[in-house]
Structures are given as structure tokens and as C-alpha cells.
């Protein structure tokens, strides 16, 4: 496949489809703040079931989950 052929194929791909996590379970440690919370949000948006673990007793407020 030539470079031009690959480029043509890639034009028809929605990049978000490359990161779908449907039917996947993701475990996130450090999930109540910072990077861990962002990973939880992103993996939920991608369709994963998420197990969120943190030593901190705090829970994010609002509908962040």
C-alpha cells in the first residue's frame, strides 16, 4: 500500500473509533484527583466500565463520575 493509499484510507476513519473501550473494564488508581480523575473521565467517555480506586477519603463533587 502506498503512502497516498494509506492517507486516503485514514481520511475515512474517525480517530475516536481507534480508542473505543466498549466491553472493557479499566482499573484506575489515584482516581479522585489530578491525572487519575481525568483518566476515569476519559475511559468512561470511551465506553469502558471503570473501577476507581484511591486511598483518599474524598470523593469528587457533582456529576464528574
| 46 within some domain | yes
For residue 25, tell me if it sits in a domain: yes
Return d(Cα 42, Cα 24) in angstroms, integer: 13
Of residues 60 and 6, more confidently modeled: 6
As for how many domains the chain has, the answer is: 1
Considering the domain boundaries, does residue 39 fall inside one?
yes
CB neighbour list of residue 46: distance below 8 Å, 6 or more residues apart:
16, 19, 20, 21, 22
Structural domain span for residue 25: 18-58
User: Is pLDDT at 2 greater than 90 in this prediction?
Assistant: no
Is residue 13 in some structural domain?
A: no
pLDDT single digits (tens) 9-45: 778 888 778 889 999 999 999 998 899 999 999 999 9
Give the predicted TM-score (pTM) of the model. Answer: 0.65
29 found inside a domain: yes
Q: Is 44 exposed, middle or buried (0-12, 13-18, 19+ CB in 10 A)?
A: middle
Instruction: Tell me if 6 is assigned to some domain.
Output: no
What is the pLDDT confidence band of residue 63, given thresholds at 50, 70 and 90?
low
pLDDT at 37: 93
Amino acid at each position: 500500500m502506498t503512502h497516498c493509499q494509506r492517507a486516503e484510507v485514514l481520511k475515512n476513519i474517525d480517530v475516536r473509533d481507534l480508542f473505543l473501550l466498549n466491553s472493557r473494564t479499566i482499573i484506575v488508581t489515584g482516581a479522585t484527583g489530578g491525572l487519575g480523575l481525568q483518566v476515569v473521565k476519559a475511559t468512561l467517555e470511551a465506553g469502558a466500565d471503570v473501577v476507581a480506586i484511591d486511598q483518599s477519603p474524598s470523593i469528587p463533587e457533582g456529576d464528574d463520575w
